[in-house]
């Protein structure tokens, strides 16, 4: 599979008078054509900011992308002018959001909001765009599309609105769909339908999906590859199977253990203690060390790097895995702090 998007050393910081918040702090990953990649982590770990940085929709004026590259083919998106970027957004990369209730414009009809994307990017005459909008609504499973098209968003349910968002996002056959917690605000039965819909559509037109979520259930449903973020950095990258079968980073292990297992015995959950560090109290060594049950001396002094030596398909940022061998360093784990 070809690389569609390569993110290199992306840094997005927020500045205010007192401090600099490093929301995204040197993130590298790539997405291949047609692939579904999940970006996972707790609230505040920088996953949404990573996606907004790719779209260059970081809320200004405090937020700024300070470094890095976002390569799409031979183009570095971060070097494009605002006008050129407008050609990419909604066209080659589109996005859906967490809150379908508030993400649609309340004063424009559902149809208008889809049609305007089509006429804007594809430069089609309005009649043609209307026809396509109806097709899109049918495709995302909205009944009576011809009628819904003249309705305003407040008449639709949350699930319906998220379908409309998906129809809008898919209207120009994007190469990449960024879905920022697309099912978080929906109830469980609708969640599954929306996930199925996204999977079907992405297969149909070979659209890659960058799925941002904190819900590992959603991840296992949809994603092929997982990127785990913690405090603005990637801590582990692997295929879905590897992550669930053999999570390497203690943080990933913690995330998986904090999800109730339907087959396992019913016992207490093991949540990760503590909270994501605030920017003022960013630990000097490994950022996860203060919450880590395996942490040892070195973790508090040095910052580990993201390593992918032996594990070619996977990468992990942790001293437990020796730089040379890439296997678990047993002697060190015995020295755990608790």
Partner 1 sequence: MLSYIIRRSLMAIPLLFGITIISFGIIHLAPGDPTALLMDPNIKPEDKVAFMEKYGLNDPMHIQYLKWVGNMLQGDFGQSLIRTGTDVSYLIVERLPNTLFLMLVSTLLAVLISIPFGIISARKPYTLTDYSVTFTSFIGLATPNFWLGLVLIMFLSVQLGWFPTGGIATLNEPFSLWDRIHHLVLPAFVLATADMAGLTRYTRTSMLDVLKQDYIRTARAKGFKERRVVYKHGLRNGLIPVITIFGLMLPSFFAGTVIVEKIFNWPGIGLLFVDAAFQRDYPVIMAVTVIAAVLTVIGNLIADILYAVFDPRIEY
Residues near partner 1 (CB under 8 A): 55, 57, 82-83, 85-91, 94-95, 97, 99, 102-109, 116-117, 120-121, 152, 154, 165, 168
Residue 87 or residue 206: which is nearer to partner 1 going by CB?
87
The Cβ of residue 67 has, within 10 Å, a number of other Cβ atoms equal to 15
Residue 194 or residue 292: which is nearer to partner 1 going by CB?
194
> What's the closest the beta carbon of residue 69 comes to partner 1, in angstroms?
21
Residue 150 or residue 278: which is nearer to partner 1 going by CB?
150
Q: What does the block give as tokens for 230?
A: 């913690």
Residue 117 or residue 197: which is nearer to partner 1 going by CB?
117
Residue 60 or residue 260: which is nearer to partner 1 going by CB?
60
> What's the closest the beta carbon of residue 83 comes to partner 1, in angstroms?
7
Residue 82 or residue 263: which is nearer to partner 1 going by CB?
82
> What's the closest the beta carbon of residue 158 comes to partner 1, in angstroms?
13
> What's the closest the beta carbon of residue 290 comes to partner 1, in angstroms?
34
> What's the closest the beta carbon of residue 55 comes to partner 1, in angstroms?
6
Sheet-wide strand order for 20-32: 20-32, 3-15, 63-72, 75-76
Of 309, 97, 94, 300, the closest CA to residue 186 belongs to: 97
> What's the closest the beta carbon of residue 80 comes to partner 1, in angstroms?
12
Asked if 258 and 270 touch (Cβ cutoff 8 Å), the reply is yes
Residue 88 or residue 318: which is nearer to partner 1 going by CB?
88
> What's the closest the beta carbon of residue 217 comes to partner 1, in angstroms?
24
Close Cβ partners of 299 (under 8 Å, ≥ 6 residues apart):
285, 286, 289, 292, 319
């Amino acid at each position: 599979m070809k690389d569609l998007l390569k993110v290199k050393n992306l840094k997005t910081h927020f500045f205010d008078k007192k401090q600099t918040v490093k929301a995204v702090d040197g993130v590298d990953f790539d997405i291949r054509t047609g692939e579904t990649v999940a970006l996972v982590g707790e609230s505040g770990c920088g996953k949404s900011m990573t996606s907004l940085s790719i779209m260059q929709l970081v809320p200004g004026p405090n937020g700024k992308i300070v470094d890095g590259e976002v390569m799409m083919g031979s183009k570095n998106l971060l070097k494009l002018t605002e006008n050129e970027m407008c050609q990419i957004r909604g066209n080659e990369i589109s996005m859906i959001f967490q809150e379908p209730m508030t993400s649609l414009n309340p004063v424009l009809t559902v149809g208008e909001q889809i049609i305007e994307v089509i006429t804007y990017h594809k430069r089609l005459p309005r009649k043609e765009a209307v026809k396509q909008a109806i097709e899109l609504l049918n495709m995302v499973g909205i009944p009576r599309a011809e009628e819904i098209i003249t309705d305003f968003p407040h008449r639709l349910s949350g699930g319906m609105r998220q379908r409309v968002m998906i129809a809008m996002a898919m209207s120009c056959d994007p190469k990449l769909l960024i879905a920022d917690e697309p099912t978080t605000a929906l109830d469980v039965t609708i969640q599954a339908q929306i996930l199925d819909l996204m999977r079907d559509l992405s297969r149909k037109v070979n659209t890659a999906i960058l799925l941002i979520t904190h819900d590992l259930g959603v991840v296992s449903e949809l994603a092929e590859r997982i990127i785990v973020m913690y405090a603005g950095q990637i801590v582990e990258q692997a295929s879905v199977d590897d992550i669930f079968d053999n999570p390497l980073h203690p943080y990933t292990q913690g995330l998986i253990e904090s999800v109730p297992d339907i087959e396992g015995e019913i016992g207490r959950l093991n949540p990760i203690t503590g909270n994501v560090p605030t920017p003022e109290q960013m630990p000097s060594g490994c950022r996860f060390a203060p919450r880590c049950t395996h942490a040892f001396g070195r973790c508090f002094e040095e910052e580990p790097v993201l390593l992918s030596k032996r594990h070619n398909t996977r990468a992990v940022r942790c001293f437990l895995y020796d730089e040379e061998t890439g296997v678990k360093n047993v002697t060190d784990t015995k020295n755990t702090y608790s």
